Structure 1
Amino acid sequence: MGEVVCVTGAGGFVASWLIKLLLSKGYTVRGTVRQPGDEKNAHLYKLDKASENLTLYKADLLDYDSIHEAISGCNGVFHVASPLPTGPVQNPEARLLTFSVELIEPAVKGTLNVLKASLEAKVRRAIVVSSGAAVTMNPRWPKDRVKDENCWSDKEFQKKMKNWYGLSKTEAESEAMEFGKSTGLDVVRVCPTLVLGPMLQTTANSSSMFLVRQLKEGYESRENKLQKLVDVRDVAEALLLAYEKPEAEGRYICVGHMIMYKDLLDKLKSLYPHYNYPKSYTDGGEEPKMSAEKLQKLGWNCRPLEDTLIDSIEHYKAAGLLE
């Protein structure tokens, strides 16, 4: 194909798999990272075709000029990067302000910087990676109705629940939607749920650690709630479909499997019986399921859950995360 595309947050879990897929399809990729020479980005240079078709740009989402330089001359953009707090907040009174400064403002401003640079570069389409967290946290949604793309998380409810990451994704996605409407930029948003699967990067990410903790921590009791999971490789495929399919528009929920927490752990236990699983479960209540039907109509499908679990655990074992 030979199109030039930019991927923000290139060294991360989802972005690394997306770049691997893009390179395999003949794209020329520009990845933005904070430090191109950092060891944590070394895995990107080892990808097939990376030596000829991948360039890493030093960029900060909050520095418009650096983002503009990476995106200028691109046909398309995948905005995958999302800020996470750098560490624990010492002063509880300052916590809300700190999360706002460290998480919400950068998520929104970073997204708008990427979209402004995309507009200036006249890209064909910008794909924004949102989150299932921007969909699910809506207490007013009817309990018997499957959550689709019309369901948005309630920002006030997220504040009340102190779900700052979810709030940052909801704010950023709604700003991205409005930016597309007001400027005419073709912006498509994809909302993955909890992303599992083998890692290409060497630093463990938070969603991978979710699975590691279930096997290692030896929890006495856990809440039996609906888990909404998707394989990282399937997320990469969804992002590419959202970019390549002319009919793609709006937002897409990207969920592969929905399974109760206890059933998930029972499945893991049948595959890997020797880990330290929770001893008991409490009732987590009922929750509406989510639908990936809109994404499936684009031609998306997901691999079996068992494949994701086995590939994840085998990778964690090899990486020493389960010792």
Structure 2
Amino acid sequence: MPVAPAFREMANTAKGKVCVTGASGFIASWLIKRFLKSGYHVLGTVRDPGNQKKVGHLLDLEGARERLELVRADLLEEGSFDDAVMACEGVFHTASPVVTKSDSKEEMLNSAINGTLNVLRSCKKNPSLKRVVLTSSSSTVRIKDESDLPPNVLLDETSWSSIEYCESLQIWYAVAKILAEKAAWEFAKEHMIDLVTVLPTFVIGPNLSPELGPTASDTGKFTVYGRMGYVHIDDVASCHIMAYEAAGAEGRYICNAAVLDLDELVSLLATRFPAYRVPKSLPNIYGEQSYGFDTSKARALGLQEFKGVEEMFDDAVDSLVAHGHLPAAKNATTRCVF
């Protein structure tokens, strides 16, 4: 069957060079793995290219020796990305500023917004740039008061979370993601940058790095998420690449496999991993919700089948065991990290 004209692959990008910010991160590492496997040349930015503990897993990837270059860049240093971006046809901005518990709300928001804009300012200087793909989040879509979420509503890319409601619950991550994405859209429109955003739900799956990232190490954080979507990391990487390669791609793309209530999540984990001590229930601060996500845009790109929740959690637990963050099931005596 011929490919629809709107989604034919961009010319001359199959073996081109792309920049991936925050290269050592969870999503970025999988993106780089996929790019290298497809024959791309990758320029990855990290804060310290010499830190083997942070970047060693990238250097071990197939094709890394020939087609991966790691360079230093800092989100909060204006101009820091100029050289990296200028060398590439596409930019994938997955990085987020590192925020410590001592940072104020204002510092967190400013870091997210200014970090995104610093990358886009560098992009503006590259006349050969074809497209920027920004990793946003489904938290920019789904967090609303119950009165704004009709029963069984399917949320699509036109939906935006309520900043006021996020602030009332002090969900500053969501506020930062909303404001950063909106700032990116304004900047891209003003400077005629071809921007596409990918909005993953909660990303689950194997970690390429032996180190846990901030999300994976936040044990018990499901208690503040309520009903939410889940998606396999490999599908998230695929969605990013498809959003780059499809000539007709535009706007936002929700990337989601399944939506679960907290009781459904707990039941799944308890059934799937009986050797681990899974909590019997989790508190829900959102109240009753029944929303789902419309993923028709992502499917139109070519992401027809998403990996299921069983596979994504199986892969995640196998990875945690392999990296020593969880005991093997036969030796499990501690509470499951989920």
Per the normalisation by structure 1, the TM-score is 0.89
Q: What does residue 105 of structure 1 align with?
A: 110
In structure 2, do the counterparts of structure 1 residues 230 and 204 end up closer, same or farther at CA, with 3 Å as the change threshold? Answer: same
Return 12-21 or 268-277, whichever deviates more: 268-277
SS in 2 for 1:136: coil
Q: What does residue 234 of structure 2 align with?
A: 233
Deviation at 1:157, TM superposition (A): 2.0
Distance in 2 between the 1:169 and 1:303 partners?
25
Output aligned runs, 1:232-251, within 5 Å.
232-251=233-252
Distance in 2 between the 1:256 and 1:207 partners?
19
The answer to whether the Cα contact below 8 Å between 1:147 and 1:291 also exists between their aligned partners in 2 is yes
Is 1:263 matched with 2:293?
Answer: no
Q: What does residue 44 of structure 2 align with?
A: 31
- AA aligned opposite 1:204: L
Distance in 1 between the 2:17 and 2:137 partners?
25
Output aligned runs, 1:46-61, within 5 Å.
46-61=60-75
Q: What does residue 164 of structure 1 align with?
A: 172
Which ranges of structure 1 fall in alignment gaps of 5 or more residues? 90-94
Q: What does residue 25 of structure 2 align with?
A: 12
Q: What does residue 94 of structure 2 align with?
A: 80
In structure 2, do the counterparts of structure 1 residues 16 and 196 end up closer, same or farther at CA, with 3 Å as the change threshold? Answer: same
Distance in 2 between the 1:314 and 1:293 partners?
31
Is 1:291 matched with 2:300?
Answer: no
Distance in 1 between the 2:181 and 2:45 partners?
20
Q: What does residue 310 of structure 2 align with?
A: 306
Deviation at 1:292, TM superposition (A): 1.4
Deviation at 1:128, TM superposition (A): 0.5
Deviation at 1:206, TM superposition (A): 3.5
Q: CA RMSD in A?
A: 2.0
Deviations 1:260-279 (A, max 9, x none): 22222222222221211213
Q: Where does structure 1 differ by over 6 angstroms across 4 or more consecutive aligned residues?
A: none
Deviation at 1:32, TM superposition (A): 0.5
SS in 1 for 2:109: helix
The answer to whether the Cα contact below 8 Å between 1:131 and 1:193 also exists between their aligned partners in 2 is yes
SS in 2 for 1:307: helix
Per the normalisation by structure 2, the TM-score is 0.85
In structure 2, do the counterparts of structure 1 residues 298 and 320 end up closer, same or farther at CA, with 3 Å as the change threshold? Answer: same
- AA aligned opposite 2:252: R
The answer to whether the Cα contact below 8 Å between 1:131 and 1:192 also exists between their aligned partners in 2 is yes
- AA aligned opposite 1:226: R
Q: Of 99, 116, 119, which residue of structure 2 is paired with 1:114?
A: 119
In structure 2, do the counterparts of structure 1 residues 282 and 313 end up closer, same or farther at CA, with 3 Å as the change threshold? Answer: same
Which ranges of structure 2 fall in alignment gaps of 5 or more residues? 1-13, 328-338
Is 1:66 matched with 2:73?
Answer: no
Identity within the alignment, %: 36
Deviation at 1:116, TM superposition (A): 1.7
Deviation at 1:281, TM superposition (A): 5.5
The answer to whether the Cα contact below 8 Å between 2:149 and 2:289 also exists between their aligned partners in 1 is no
Distance in 2 between the 1:22 and 1:213 partners?
33
The answer to whether the Cα contact below 8 Å between 1:224 and 1:260 also exists between their aligned partners in 2 is no
Q: What does residue 203 of structure 2 align with?
A: 195
Q: What does residue 42 of structure 1 align with?
A: 56
Q: What does residue 143 of structure 1 align with?
A: 150
Deviations 1:67-109 (A, max 9, x none): 11111121000000012422x23xxxxx6xx2321x2112111
Q: Of 120, 136, 139, which residue of structure 2 is paired with 1:130?
A: 136
Deviation at 1:34, TM superposition (A): 0.3
Output aligned runs, 1:171-182, within 5 Å.
171-182=179-190
